[in-house]
Structure 1
């Protein structure tokens, strides 16, 4: 009987507290198994629409993303876990099949993640927090083990 092994843990993030808590779990799993973490920052629908309409500048989004990733980088560094990042649109207004759940699973395949940590739907019910909406989809369709926290 062989031991379970994971090389890369995917941690999708939005601006919610729940996603940061899920990132803490992802780092703990990675530390336990000697894996690295890939943090995926998903832009929510309101941000995508604001970018498309010109109401929001790309530099503002980049600054917000950088702040979030620095927080996750510090968390990983505190546990001596290697981390990489990417950013993706959680929604594309012209393509119905492009939604947070599909983006998470596509990214998991692209970065060769073999474990996923996703937050459950946020208690706040804030519509800008996209990951809770994706958790059920990811749990149903992921080929990798998934921890929903």
Structure 2
């Protein structure tokens, strides 16, 4: 059975750990002649302050764009890199979790493979990608590489 991969999803948060996940996603995409979609997952504190209107969307967008610009440097010419962002939490919806956000994006973008950073940067398991990893590993229908 041959694995067919057209799009690789990797959730990111701007950290070095998520940049390493981009490197893996790009390597997989290059191997399968696929594209990469980076999902920038916004952390809980930023989400909470955004719900009160205390976050400057342009600053958040600038941080996302700066990270994605660095990620583009990792992708060889034959690998396309698209991106989007999502709040990993919701003050109004208790079922919104970083893992469910990643899996929703995987469905929306129709990805065939997921590369997810498993280790939180600070060692705090409550960081969004650390929380998302366990969820994605349990519930994803696509193959998942945890890095």
Above 0.5 in TM-score?
A: yes
Which consecutive residues of structure 2, in runs of 5 or more, have no partner in the other structure? none
Secondary structure of the corresponding residue to residue 10 of structure 1: strand
Give the corresponding residue for 2:19.
20
Bigger shift: 50-59 or 132-141? 50-59
Corresponding residue for residue 51 of structure 1 = 50
* Alignment match, 1:148: 146
The count of residues paired between Structure 1 and Structure 2 equals 147
Please report how far the alpha carbon of residue 116 of structure 1 lies from its aligned counterpart in structure 2 after TM superposition.
0.1
Matches within 5 A, 1:64-83: 64-76=63-75, 78=76, 80-83=78-81
After TM superposition, where is structure 1 displaced by more than 6 Å over at least 4 residues in a row?
Answer: none
Alignment RMSD (CA, Å): 1.6
Partner of 1:63: 62
Alpha-carbon shift at residue 54 of structure 1 (Å): 3.1
TM-score, normalised on structure 1? 0.92
The 8 Å contact of residues 7 and 34 in structure 1, kept in 2 or not, is answered as yes
Closer, same or farther: CA 122–103 of 1 in aligned 2, 3 Å: same
State whether residues 46 and 128 of structure 1, in contact with CA within 8 Å, keep that contact through their aligned partners in structure 2.
no
Contact 2:125 2:131 in 1 (8 A): no
